[in-house]
Structure 1
């Protein structure tokens, strides 16, 4: 598990044109509440710290979150878990469709004690899709008995999902941060690790050790995840697989597709064509 990043720099837009208000402030109307939200580009929520847990799943677009200590993001078909009592700000740069499952603290015992990214299981994904297709809750905010029972089962299943500190973790080391900034600024940078390490006056072995210690993964894996996150909004905007692959530094589209399939379990074309990517009103 990567270490928390102290005093994490927020990537939230400073002057987001779309400020969205949370549906609840102090209490939940029911033990488990589900809702779907369509977020326009450059949208954000105010800083919040609620006593319940919140599970956020991205149907399309990239959902981002900052806490006092860390930065998280969820690409499509991944999720974030916000532990009860966590001060956080949720936001997105590009248009996003996500759902939130609000869970009373008393029901969160089997869920992570800390905020983290969640690797959603096929069963949980199917349940979320089904809940999304059901009519919304009543005007009084109460869930129907059938929907309420399904939500309790969903909470049980969320406790079985694998977690990761952050899908694209950040470091807490100035030397590594400088290297990561190179990739953030230009995901297509294809320099070998030895050359990149030399540019920052360290050995390849030292750079690899910094990455494993701070990120919880190799720098090669981190760079592939960054390229995936960079590719998703381009593909969803209608760019061809070949042009996106070239823009991200891949010599061939087949190499890009292989990376995409390894990280998502499917091809770019099938991933973008999933029904989950259609928009819904908030």
Structure 2
């Protein structure tokens, strides 16, 4: 996060969890906006799931985002830090290295079955209830089994330090409503469309078009939580109509913006 230090210098540092009492354990936290978790590591792998908001995690200068209903996997002994630009409610399932033989060996977003979000919601609703500890442990083992079968992908919104892509990606983050074509953007960067397409695929693992769609989804999430109308968000992101934005959102998130708001926004 050093390259963004000027943006987060006023963020409040909050302690990471290093006192983990069991081989398989979970913790739910409400993190205020503009806070950071300092860099740390331990012998537990972490499955991080955001109920509300988007937690940002930095691993070796790779930037991971955790938009619900996806979760982030961090293997044991991996140094990482966290950043909360907005208020985030998230759960971390801690899995000791002795239980991680079947878990992915690299960090990434886990695309799990529909059962996992349901189990995470159940963990949240029963946290303060007087539930038999053995029952909770059985649930965590079922969750572990589901996570072992999940597909792992890279960061939802990859970054790049490439001399050509880095300034362009930063520009697009600041100007998400810019709908110029890839050819027009390439001309702005004094390169060819073909070269820009090649670098996007090799550096980001996806086309620039897909990256821009993901960016707009990520920028829409906090606006939805803050109560902005779908129409105003669509306008901010450069869409001519709310319908076009709704179709994009549903294609990527599986829900309409209003459905997502009702499901994942804080009460």
Which structure is richer in relative contact order (CA contacts within 8 A, separation 6 or more)? Answer: 1
2:10 to 2, 6, 15: 15
Is the contact between residue 177 and residue 237 of structure 2 (CA under 8 Å) also seen in structure 1? Answer: yes
CA contact (8 A) 2:50 2:89 kept: yes
How far apart, CA to CA, are the structure 1 residues paired with 2:9 and 2:88?
Answer: 18
CA distance in 2, matches of 1:97, 1:56: 11
Report the TM-score when normalising by structure 2.
0.94
Q: CA RMSD in A?
A: 2.0
Comparing 77-86 with 96-105, greater Cα deviation is found at: 77-86
Gaps of at least 5 residues in structure 1 are 1-6
Q: How far has the Cα of 1:69 moved from its partner?
A: 3.4
Q: 1:253 and 2:242 equivalent?
A: yes
CA distance in 1, matches of 2:134, 2:121: 18
Note if contact 2:41-2:79 (Cα within 8 Å) is conserved in structure 1: yes
Give the 3 Å change call, closer, same or farther, for CA 176–36 of structure 1 in structure 2. same
**What runs of 5+ residues in structure 2 fail to find an aligned partner?**
none
Would you identify which runs of 4 or more consecutive aligned residues in structure 1 move more than 6 Å? Answer: none
Question: How far apart in 1 are the matches of 2:211 and 2:2?
Answer: 18
8 A Cα contact 1:8 1:71, kept in partner: no
Shift of 1:13: 2.2
Determine helix, strand or coil for the equivalent of 1:34.
strand
Number of the residue aligned with 1:37: 29
**1:4-36 CA distance string (max 9 Å, x none):** xxx98457823313x3223334xx321110121
Matched position secondary structure for 1:47 = strand
Say whether the 8 Å CA contact 2:110–2:152 is kept in structure 1: yes
Provide the C-alpha distance between the structure 2 equivalents of 1:107 and 1:10, rounded to a whole number of angstroms: 35
Number of aligned positions between the proteins: 266
Q: Secondary structure at the match of 1:190?
A: coil
Contact kept, 8 Å, 1:10 with 1:71, in 2: the verdict is no
1:64-118 per-residue CA deviation (whole Å, 9 max, x = no partner) reads 0112231111112221111111111112100111100000001111111111122
